[in-house]
Amino acid sequence: MGIGTRIRQERLKQGLELKELAKLSGIPERTLADIEREVSSPRAENLKKVIISLGCSADQIMFDDDELTEDGDLALLVRELGKTEEETRQTVKRVIRAMLVQERVFELEKIRNFDDAHREENKQRQNLAMPLKRYEKTSK
């Protein structure tokens, strides 16, 4: 979805007519209509005026909803990475793989430490139970 479409959605969400946004922003109605229909792209100056007039964040207008999620910045990084040279992309892939492997190693260490702690705890319980078992055998 383009910037113009997001501007239109935000304008309609706020219940504004195109002429009202034009008056608020100081941008000719025809220019706004062309931007909303994505016939033309807004100049930075006009985009700033529209965002201020709508009282929304620049992110709402500049990015799709899926890019605004918690991992949206990751989606943007991946998109930008696609524009780089192949060698750069391969280097980034190797770095990410190394980081993921390191994360798995940390997870395994946590599991092992947890298992070791429980194994030791179980040994202690068994040692405490040993006299009880001997007592049970002798009392029969």
- Which of 63, 94, 115 lies at the terminal end of a domain, its last residue? 63
pLDDT at 36: 96
- Give a yes or no: residue 75 inside a domain: no
- Give a yes or no: residue 41 inside a domain: yes
Neighbours of 114 (CB within 10 A): 10
Neighbours of 27 (CB within 10 A): 20
Taking the CA atoms of 50, 52, 53 and 54 in sequence, report the sign of the dihedral they define: positive
- The Cα 99–Cα 124 span in angstroms is 38
Enclosing domain of residue 50: 3-63
pLDDT at 108: 87
Q: Is 67 left (phi over 0), alpha (psi -120 to 50) or beta?
A: alpha
| Counted domains in the chain | 2
- Give a yes or no: residue 79 inside a domain: no
pLDDT by residue (tens digit) across 105-126? 888 888 888 777 777 777 777 7
CB 11 within 8 A of CB 21: yes
The answer to whether residue 137 scores a pLDDT higher than 70 is: no
Q: Tell me, what CATH number does 51's domain have?
A: 1.10.260.40
Do 10 and 45 have their domain in common? yes
Do 10 and 59 have their domain in common? yes
pLDDT by residue (tens digit) across 74-98? 766 777 888 899 999 999 999 999 9
